Amino acid sequence: LAARINIYKKERLEAIAEKERLVREQNIVLEQQVVERTKSLNETLDNLKQTQSQLVEAEKMASLGQLTAGIAHEVNNPINFITSNIYPLREDIKDIKAILNKYAEINTSSNLTEKLEEIEQLKEELQYDYLLNELDGIIHGIEDGAMRTAEIVSGLRNFSRLDESDLKLADINEGINSTLLLLKSKIGDVKLIKKLENLPQIECYPGKINQLVLNIVDNAIFAIKEKGIPLTEGEIEVKTVAKENEVVLTIKDNGVGMNEQTKQKIFDPFFTTKDVGEGTGLGLSIVFGIIKKHNATIEITSELGIGTEFKISLPINNK
C-alpha cells in the first residue's frame, strides 16, 4: 500500500509539473503574441496618425486651392486696369511733351505772341483740359489698382499663417477680414454682412482661426447654393462681440439648413452632404479640432429651409 501511495504521489507530482510546464510554454507563446499584437497595433496607430495628419494637411491645401482662382481673379482685375491704361497714359504724356516742347522753343529772338498763339492752337487740338482730366483719372485708377493688389497680397500673407505653432496675442478681426477678402470671388453675389466690433487681442493660433472662418464660410456658401435661391438673395453674416472673458464669433447664413440628424454628425471625420469629389468631409472636423485646441466652445442653431448659425466663444486667455 505504501508503495502504491508513493507511486501515486510521484505520478501526481509529475502531472503537476507537466501542467506547470505547459502553462509556462503557453505564457511564453501568449507573451510573444501580445508583443507582436502590441507592435502591430502601434504600427497601425502610427499609420492612422500619419494618415490623419496627411488628410488634415490635404484639407488645408484644398482650402488654399479653392482660393487660388478667386485670388487670381481679384489680382487680375486691378492689374488689367493698370496694363490697359499704359497706352493712353503714354499717349497723353506724349501730347503733354509736345506742348512743353513748344514752350521750350520760346526764346528772346522769338515772336512771343506768335509762339503763344501756336501753343494755344496746339492745346486746343490736343484737347488740353480733357487731357489733364484724363491723366488725373488714369493716375487715380492706377493708384487704386495698386492699393487693391497690395490689400490682396497683405490678406494672403495674413491668411497663410496656418502653420504657426505658438500661441500669440492677435486681433481676430484682422484675420477675419483677410479671409473674407480672399473669399470675395467665391462669395460672389451673396450678400456679406460684417459686424465686427472692436476687440481685445486674444491668445490664439491666428492662422488656425483663419482656417476656421474659411471652412465655415465655405460651408455657408455651399448651403446657400444648395437651397436653390438666387445668389443675390443669399446672406452670410459674420459678427464678433467682446464679452468679459471671451470673444464671440458668430457666422450665420440663410442657406438650406440642417436637420437634427445631420447636425449631430457634422463634426464627424469624413461626414459630408456634398457630392463625391466636392468635399472631403474634413472641413468641420478640422474646425472642431481648432475649437478644442483653443479651449473654446461652439453652439449650432439650424433649421431646414431657414439657415444655420455657428456661435464660437473663444477665451481671451487660452490656459
Joined grid coordinates for residue 250? 458668430
Whether pLDDT at 239 is above 90: yes
**Cβ partners under 8 Å of residue 180, min gap 6:** 187, 192, 194, 213, 217, 238
CATH number of the domain that residue 225 is part of: 3.30.565.10
Residue range 150-190, pLDDT digits in tens: 777 776 666 665 455 678 899 999 989 988 888 888 888 99
Please tell me the predicted confidence (pLDDT) of residue 43. 81
For residue 219, pLDDT beyond 80: yes
Looking at the structure, do residues 63 and 94 belong to the same domain, yes or no? no
**Rounded alpha-carbon distances, angstroms, from residue 112 to 100, 116, 170:** 15, 6, 67
Model pLDDT, residue 233: 93
Domain of 117, in residue numbers: 86-152
Min mean pLDDT across 90-94, 200-204, 231-235, 271-275 is at 271-275
> Is 9's pLDDT higher than 60?
yes
- Do 189 and 50 lie in one domain? The reply is no
How far is residue 193's CA from residue 186's CA, in Å, rounded to a whole number?
15
- Domain assignment of residue 158, yes or no: no
Phi, psi of 48 (to 5 degrees): -65, -45
The per-residue pLDDT of the chain, averaged, comes to: 82
| Residue 58: per-residue pLDDT | 61
Q: Give which of 212, 177, 176, 182 is closest to 294, Cα–Cα.
A: 212
Phi, psi of 236 (to 5 degrees): -125, 125
Do 50 and 102 belong together in one domain?
A: no
Overall domain count for the chain? 3
Give the up-direction half-sphere exposure of residue 296: CA atoms within 13 A in the CB hemisphere.
27
Residues shown for the chain: 319
Residues 84-141 have pLDDT tens digits of 888 888 888 888 888 888 888 787 666 778 888 888 888 888 888 888 888 888 888 8
Residue that has been written with the C-alpha cell 460684417 in this structure = 194
How far apart are the C-alpha atoms of 246 and 312, rounded to whole Å?
Answer: 10
pLDDT at 309 over 60: yes
Looking at the structure, tell me whether residues 305 and 248 fall in a common domain: yes
Quick check: 184 and 215 in contact, CB under 8 A?
no
Residue 181 lies in a domain: yes
Instruction: Specify whether 128 is located in the same domain as 221.
Output: no
Q: Let me know whether 145 and 190 are in one domain.
A: no
Torsion region of 147: left, alpha or beta (phi above 0 gives left; psi -120 to 50 gives alpha): alpha
Within a domain: 294: yes
Q: Return the pLDDT at 37.
A: 85
Instruction: Mark out the alpha helices in the chain (DSSP H runs).
Output: 2-84, 86-104, 112-125, 128-159, 172-182, 184-187, 206-227, 260-265, 283-293
Same domain, 172 and 310: yes
For the cut 60, the answer to whether the pLDDT of residue 276 exceeds it is no
Domain boundary among 129, 152, 175: 152
* Residue 235 pLDDT grade (very low, low, confident, very high; cuts 50, 70, 90): very high
